[in-house]
Chains A and B, each alone.
Chain A
Amino acid sequence: MLKIRKRDEPWKWGALVVFLGALLFSLVLSALLLKGQGKDAMYGMTVLWQGSFGNVWSLEDVLLKAIPLFLCSLGVAVAFRMQIWNIGAEGQFALGAIGATWMALAFPDLPRFVLLPLMFIMAFILGGIWALIPAVLKLKLRVNEIISTLMLNYIAILLLDYLVFGVWKDPASFGFPMTPEFTAGAIIPGIAGSRVHWGIVFCVVVGIGLWAFMRFTRLGFELKASGEGARVARYAKIRYGMLVLLVMALSGGFAGWAGCVETSAILNRLQPSLMVGYGYTAIVVAWLARLEPLNIAFASFLLAALRVGVENMQLKLQIPAAFGTIMEGIILLTVLAGQFFLTYKLVRKPRQE
């Protein structure tokens, strides 16, 4: 008979073992799933690997997808740290894209060094506002933020649809729902002619900035303390309400930036195909990374690789992109279950009778 016992000291490499275990488990399960669909599972896994890391082209693709994922996850993680469940990164991402597009369409003739900052500022503001709505509702009326942020995702996507099907539609697009292409000043350029753009440098700056903020400022300290719960925060004389607003504004602003980068650098215009679920994958990333900025960079890269790999499978095995989502779900569930072993262990129960 096995008995559950609390660990006396933390399991040193536990988190990494659980993470790798979950990855392996999800690979095995998805191989089985492929087999069940009558596909060649081994070939599928090879295609997945080659698609993610096989050549420079795919590595570039991974980096490109890791950028919006990183920014969204950073935002999600900041909120989760305070035990505020912001599930609304997807909607805040959309609002960021809308804000950036608004500036790009309003001032097409401005030079790049003016227009791009304007776009980033507006993306942050709109993304932040989208996150502040549930924050205010939570503080003033104790409205559950999980559901309100989620509902705002649906509303944001419909708002985006409304804009690209209506007032912002390009008259020359033959009826396709998209805005006109941005002018050169509104587009984030590639680094030294490669496909990877300056957004990646932006990510590094934001990541280090957030890390320094959490580590060296009083607000950052208060934020971490509030993560222990509203009551602890009150003991420490922390203005909990103000912090919630700040954290949610940051959280939404980061996701908004992701939307801005993606619209400006990748699509060069606003269109519904922008919404590929980065905001939801960000939840997986943030949780896998245990909410730490450096881990988030690593986990974003891995999950971006998974997405690119699945695209390759889509092409070669004729399977839908949803395959990647299944793997994300399995990884997250397995990690959640596995984290049990970080605090507890199973020991053999001595026979007493």
Chain B
Amino acid sequence: MWDFLIPLFAATVQSGTPILYATLGEMMTEKGGVLNLGVEGMMAVSALAAFWASYVTGSPWLGFLAGGCAGMVMASLHAFVCVSCLGNQVVSGLALTILGGGLTHFLGVPYVGLAAPGFDPFNFPLLSQIPVLGDIFFKHDMLVYVSFVIPVLFWFFFKRTSLGLHVAATGEMPAAAAAAGLKPIRLRYFAVIAGGFLVGLGGAYLSLAYTHLWTNGLSGGRGWIAVALVIFAFWRPGRAVAGAYLFGGVMAFQLRLQAAGTHLPSSLLLMLPYLLTILVLILSAWRGRRIDAPAALGTNIEPEG
């Protein structure tokens, strides 16, 4: 029993990690009042950017950074269209996903099948010695350990720093924030672009740690799952962790079932994460906690005059 469960839980943490980065990124964006449905495309582009940078420089850390920066670049397009030009946030996000998917397939051609230096798992000193928990949480790659810290930072940022409080204020009532002397437009730019950086890190994880090979379609719907998880998590980082690992668990379980050669056709198994996403949305809607959404989410700030 444990021989099956411990590797499964360990795999859960690994496949939940990119989703966790992306979910926190989208949560950051939405906290500022902007809905960004481009996560799927941003993850794809940043996975490629991370792979490329790591391939060229030989440094996976530079790759990780490049992934984050690619996410920021994509996010700034969204910010420009929605925050400055008052474009429709839903459609702009979709456009970003369309663009990102295209760019990744187009620019990724020369790298398909190549390998780049990535992050390898290692036993975290001391902590990996803990029975069971050590096996599950502390025998991964460096990026998993980084992802343990980020939800805490995220929480700290929104609860304890003035910048975080200001960002949340523009997500709730931009007009009131402006009246209080804040700069809602700048704060929204910040939320979208910082969120894009986190989403980009999630994309980078896919090509640097999840696989070290470049293949097309790495994001495989994870971006959309992240968008759904933000709702499921009621815009709270702690619940985002739970949600991301839930999906990581289903993905890992589904892979294991396939590898074990069950009689179920693989296409039906592959449906599991997508069915679960719908189920998760139903569950969070059923709990009826809409109030937790930033009040100004999805609405643009109209300029006066």
Cross-interface CB contact of A325 among B102, B265, B303, cutoff 8 Å: B102
Contacts of A158 on B, CB cut-off 8 Å?
267-268, 270-271, 274
Contact B91 A340 (CB under 8 A): no
Contacts of B282 on A, CB cut-off 8 Å?
137, 141, 143
Is B305 an interface residue when CB atoms closer than 8 A count as contact?
A: yes
Contact size range, B: 35 or more
Contact A143 B281 (CB under 8 A): yes
Is B228 an interface residue when CB atoms closer than 8 A count as contact?
A: yes
User: Which of A52-60, A215-223, A257-265, A326-334 lies on the face that meets chain B?
Assistant: A326-334
Is B85 an interface residue when CB atoms closer than 8 A count as contact?
A: yes
Cross-interface CB contact of A161 among B84, B94, B267, cutoff 8 Å: B267
Docked Cα-Cα span, A134 to B270, in Å, equals 20
Q: Are A323 and B106 CB-contacts (below 8 A) given A151-B278, A337-B87, A340-B85? A: yes
Contact A337 B106 (CB under 8 A): no
Contact B106 A33 (CB under 8 A): yes
Shortest beta-carbon distance, B41 to chain A, in Å? 8
Cross-interface CB contact of B102 among A137, A150, A328, A337, cutoff 8 Å: A328
Is A294 an interface residue when CB atoms closer than 8 A count as contact?
A: no
Contacts of A339 on B, CB cut-off 8 Å?
85, 87
Contact A337 B98 (CB under 8 A): no
Cβ contacts B94-125/A at 8 Å (1 or 0 each)? 11101111111111010000000000000000
Cross-interface CB contact of A284 among B98, B100, B224, B231, cutoff 8 Å: B98
User: Which of A2-10, A187-195, A198-206, A230-238 lies on the face that meets chain B?
Assistant: A2-10
Docked Cα-Cα span, A166 to B224, in Å, equals 28
Docked Cα-Cα span, A329 to B86, in Å, equals 18
Docked Cα-Cα span, A325 to B267, in Å, equals 26
Cβ contacts B244-286/A at 8 Å (1 or 0 each)? 0000000000000000000001011011001101100110011
Contacts of B290 on A, CB cut-off 8 Å?
142
Q: Are A336 and B85 CB-contacts (below 8 A) given A165-B265, A322-B106? A: yes
Is A110 an interface residue when CB atoms closer than 8 A count as contact?
A: no
Shortest beta-carbon distance, A265 to chain B, in Å? 26
Contact A336 B305 (CB under 8 A): no
Is A211 an interface residue when CB atoms closer than 8 A count as contact?
A: no
Shortest beta-carbon distance, B151 to chain A, in Å? 22
Cross-interface CB contact of A333 among B77, B86, B107, B224, cutoff 8 Å: B77
* CB-CB contacts below 8 Å: A144-185 with B: 144, 146-148, 150-152, 154-155, 158-159, 161-162, 165-166
Contact A344 B100 (CB under 8 A): no
Shortest beta-carbon distance, A136 to chain B, in Å? 11
Docked Cα-Cα span, A226 to B169, in Å, equals 31
Is A124 an interface residue when CB atoms closer than 8 A count as contact?
A: no
CB-CB nearest 9 A-B residue pairs: A329-B99, A325-B102, A322-B105, A336-B87, A326-B102, A332-B95, A340-B85, A162-B267, A337-B85
Add 17 more A-B contacts to A137-B281, A143-B282, A151-B277 (CB < 8 A): A85-B90, A87-B94, A148-B278, A151-B275, A152-B278, A162-B268, A165-B265, A284-B95, A320-B109, A324-B102, A326-B103, A326-B106, A329-B96, A329-B99, A333-B87, A337-B84, A344-B303
Could you pull out 7 A-B pairs where Cβ atoms are within 8 angstroms? Answer: A152-B274, A162-B268, A283-B94, A326-B106, A329-B100, A332-B99, A336-B81
Q: A interface vs B, CB < 8 Å?
A: 3-6, 33, 37, 85, 87, 137, 141-144, 146-148, 150-152, 154-155, 158-159, 161-162, 165-166, 280, 283-284, 287, 319-330, 332-333, 336-340, 343-344
